[in-house]
Amino acid sequence: MEKKIKSIILAAGKGTRMKSEKSKVLHTIFNKELLGYVIDALNGTGLTEENYVIVGHQAEAVEEYVNKNYTNAKCRLQSPQLGTGHAAAQAYDDLKGFEGDVLILCGDTPLITTETLKKFIEAHRKSSAALTVMSAIFDDPTNYGRIVRDENGNLKAIVEEKDALDAQKKIKEINTGVYLLDWPRVSQSFLEMDSNNAQHEYYLTDIVKWTIKHGLKAQSFILENNEESFGINSKKQLAQATKILKERTLDKLFAQGITIIDPETTYISPETEIDTDTIIYPCTYIEGKNKIGKNCKIGPFARLRGDVELGDYVKIGNFVEIKKSKIKDHTNVSHLSYIGDSQLGSNVNIGAGTITANYNHITKEKFQTVVEDGASTGSNSVLVAPVKLGENSSIGAGSIISKDIEANALGLTRAPLKIFKDWFEKMKK
C-alpha cells in the first residue's frame, strides 16, 4: 500500500433538490463542508498524492474553498455538464503518464471514512484488479445503479435505474459511485465513452463495461456499513447525515469514558477530542475542531463554535458560547457569557453575562482578549478587545473595560448610584 494514489472528486452538480443557490458540496455539517469531509477522508489514508475536484455549479466558490483549505487539491471545470463520465474525464490530461491508481468518488458523501477507503484500496491491490467498484446492499435500492453479475458471480455490468430491466431493478446490490482504477490499464476507457443511453450522457459506469469487454479484471467491494455511501441531495438528507455523524461520534466518546447526559439533544462534531471524565450536559452543540481536557463540565445549553481548547477541570456554564479561544485549567465561564478570540489563564472566573467584544463591524477585524491567571470578571462585564486583564486582577460587575488592567488591580466603570426618594408616589400623581 506504499504506492501513491491520485483522486478525482465529482463536485460539479447543482443539487437542485437542495433548493439553494449554494453549491451542494459547500453545505455544511457541524460547520464543515461536505466536500471537506471527503477530501479529509482521502488525505487520512496517507496515500493521496493529488486530488482533482471537478467543479461546475458555483465553480468559483468551490474553487475558493478548495484553494483556501487544501494544498494537494486542484479544481478542474466541467462545462457543459454531460454526465459523470464526462466529469471525471476533465482530469484526464492531468493524469497522462501516471502509473498509479486513480480513486474516483463523489463530493457529497460526507459519511465515507478513511478506514473504509484503506480497506477498499487494500482489497483492490491484493486482487490485482484493473478496476474495483465500491458497492453496498440496500433493502430498497430504488434510484441506484445496480451491480449486475454473471452466473458465476463475477461483475458483469452496472446498470442505471432508468436503463434497468424489471429483473435488474430487483437487485439489492448497488453502485456507490466510488471506483479505484489501475490507471495505465483503464485510462483508455475515457476516450471510448459514448452517450447511447436514456439520458444521452457519458456515464462513468461505462468504464466498468469497457474493462470487462477488454478482458481485464473488474470486481466489487461491498461496504460493511451502507451508511457510508449516503449521498446528500436534499436538506432532509443533510439533516439525516448530521444525525448519523452525531451518533457515530457519541458512540466513540461513550467508549472513551465521556459522560453525555442526554444523547438525543447533544451534538458533537467528529473533529472534537474530549478527555476522560468530562461531562456534557443536555442541549449542548459543539461544532468544528476542538480539544477538551479531562474532568470538564460543559452545558447545559452551551455552544462551542470551533477552534476551542479547554484545559482540565474547566467549567462552561449554561447558555455560554465560545469560539476560537484557549482556556486553561480550573477556569470557570459562567452562564450567559460569550468568549471569542480569547486566551484565558488558569483559575480564572468569568462572571455571568460577561462578553468579549471582539469584532469591529466597520473594519471587519477581530481582536483578542487576554485574561491572565487568577483574574475575575463581575457579572455583565464587557471586555472591549484588544484588551488584557493582568494576573489576579478583578473587574467590577457591570463594567465596560476598554483599557488593559494591570495585575492585582480592580477595574471599575460603574456610574455613581443615585436614589430618588418617594419616586413612586410622585409618578402616581
Active-site residue list: 335
Task: Check residue 300 and give left, alpha or beta (phi > 0: left; psi -120 to 50: alpha).
Answer: beta
Cell 455523524, residue located: 245
Find the helix or strand (DSSP H, E) in which 126 lies: helix 114-127
Question: Computed from CA positions of residues 204, 208, 213, 216, in that sequence, does the dihedral angle turn out positive or negative?
Answer: positive
Strands 400-401 and 382-384: parallel
Query: How buried is residue 209: exposed, middle or buried, by Cβ count under 10 Å (0-12/13-18/19+)?
Result: middle
Distance CA 256, CA 193 (A): 50
CA 260 to chain centre: 21
Closest CA to 111 of 17, 16, 246, 251: 246
* Phi, psi angles (nearest 5°) of residue 417: -75, 135
Measured CA angle at 325 (ends 341, 332), to 5 deg: 120
Q: What are phi and psi of 380, to 5 degrees?
A: 60, 35
Residue 280 near residue 260 (C-beta atoms within 8 A): yes
Q: Choose among 155, 146, 148: nearest CA to 218.
A: 155
d(CA 181, CA 102): 5
β-bridge partners, 215:
none
Q: What length does the chain have?
A: 429
Give the three cell numbers for residue 244: 448519523
Stated as kind and residue range, the H or E segment containing 66 is helix 59-69
CA–CA gap between residue 18 and residue 191 (Å, rounded): 33
